[in-house]
Amino acid sequence: MSPLTNKTPLPDAGGGTLLQEQAHSLLACPDCDLVFPLPCLSPGEKARCGRCGAVLMEPKSHGFDYSIALALTSLLLFVLSNTFPLLKLQIAGREQIGAIMTGVHALYDQGFWEIAFLVLLVTIIAPLFRIISVLYVLLPLWFGRRLVGAAHIFRWMEILRPWAMSEVFMLGILVAMVKLGDLATIQPGVALYSFAGLILFMAATDASLDDGAIWVRLEDGA
């Protein structure tokens, strides 16, 4: 995709009479503040800032229904991942079952409430909030409605984006399994498979979200 340049004449700021209306037809780079006229893109195209290379706009080819379907699947997989055992450990004839919450509990019981809270936040609270937010915002929009606080919820979904770390947790599971490999017998539980699915579907949901279009719909009052 060719980078945008701001050679196109912009509304004159000299007189100091830039209207709120005109702001609608403009776009600013979040990383370097350069202003561009709103480009006309077809789905699948990407607009990059010509100065710093940031992605400015990325309209998606699928509709909201596509994101809703992915988010619903994620929600189902999330529930499975947190109800069934993740790993089973067999050592000297004894069996120990572990899930995400078991880890949070164990850390809390040992007096490490800071890490217990951190793990709870990044593996359960943030991912769950993000999945539910997508549904809360998009389902009503799909029916042409908008629920109370949808803009606030969607805003928080964006803020929590870096704090939802399910895919990092998956890698942690892998390392833990290898570390325990020669100490005991490790059996994957049902939740491990649903968790692997969960990170795929969550990534797909994120990739399918058309932030720009969602914000425009939220502003226009659906």
Partner 1 sequence: MMEVPSTATALGLILCHDCKRLNDARNLGAHGLCVRCGSRLHARKPESLARTWALTLTACLLYVPANVLPVMTVLMTGRSEADTILSGVKALLIGGMWPLALLVFFASITVPVLKLLVLIFLLLSVQMKSHWRPRERTVLYRLTETIGRWSMIDIFVIAILVALVQVGALATITAGPGAVAFGGVVVSTMLAAISFDPRLIWDAMEKPHEVD
Residues 91-150 that bind partner 1 (CB under 8 A): 91-92, 94, 96, 98-100, 102-107, 110, 112, 114-115, 118-119, 122-123
Residue 91 phi, psi (nearest 5): -140, 125
Element (H, E) at 201: helix 190-208
Give, to the nearest 10 degrees, the angle between helix 190-208 and helix 126-142: 50
Contact between 207 and partner 1 per CB under 8 A: no
Exposed, middle or buried, 81 (CB in 10 Å: 0-12/13-18/19+)?
buried
Start-to-end CA distance of the chain, whole Å, equals: 30
The one among 64, 136, 154, 201 contacting partner 1 by CB under 8 A = 154
d(CA 33, CA 118): 33
Binding mask 164-183 for partner 1 (x = CB under 8 A): -x--xx-xxxxxx-xxx-xx
The one among 45, 48, 54, 132 contacting partner 1 by CB under 8 A = 54
The one among 46, 48, 51, 60 contacting partner 1 by CB under 8 A = 51
Contact between 28 and partner 1 per CB under 8 A: yes
The one among 1, 2, 32, 190 contacting partner 1 by CB under 8 A = 32
Contact between 53 and partner 1 per CB under 8 A: yes
Residue 83 phi, psi (nearest 5): -105, -35
Q: How many residues bind partner 1 (CB under 8 A)?
A: 75
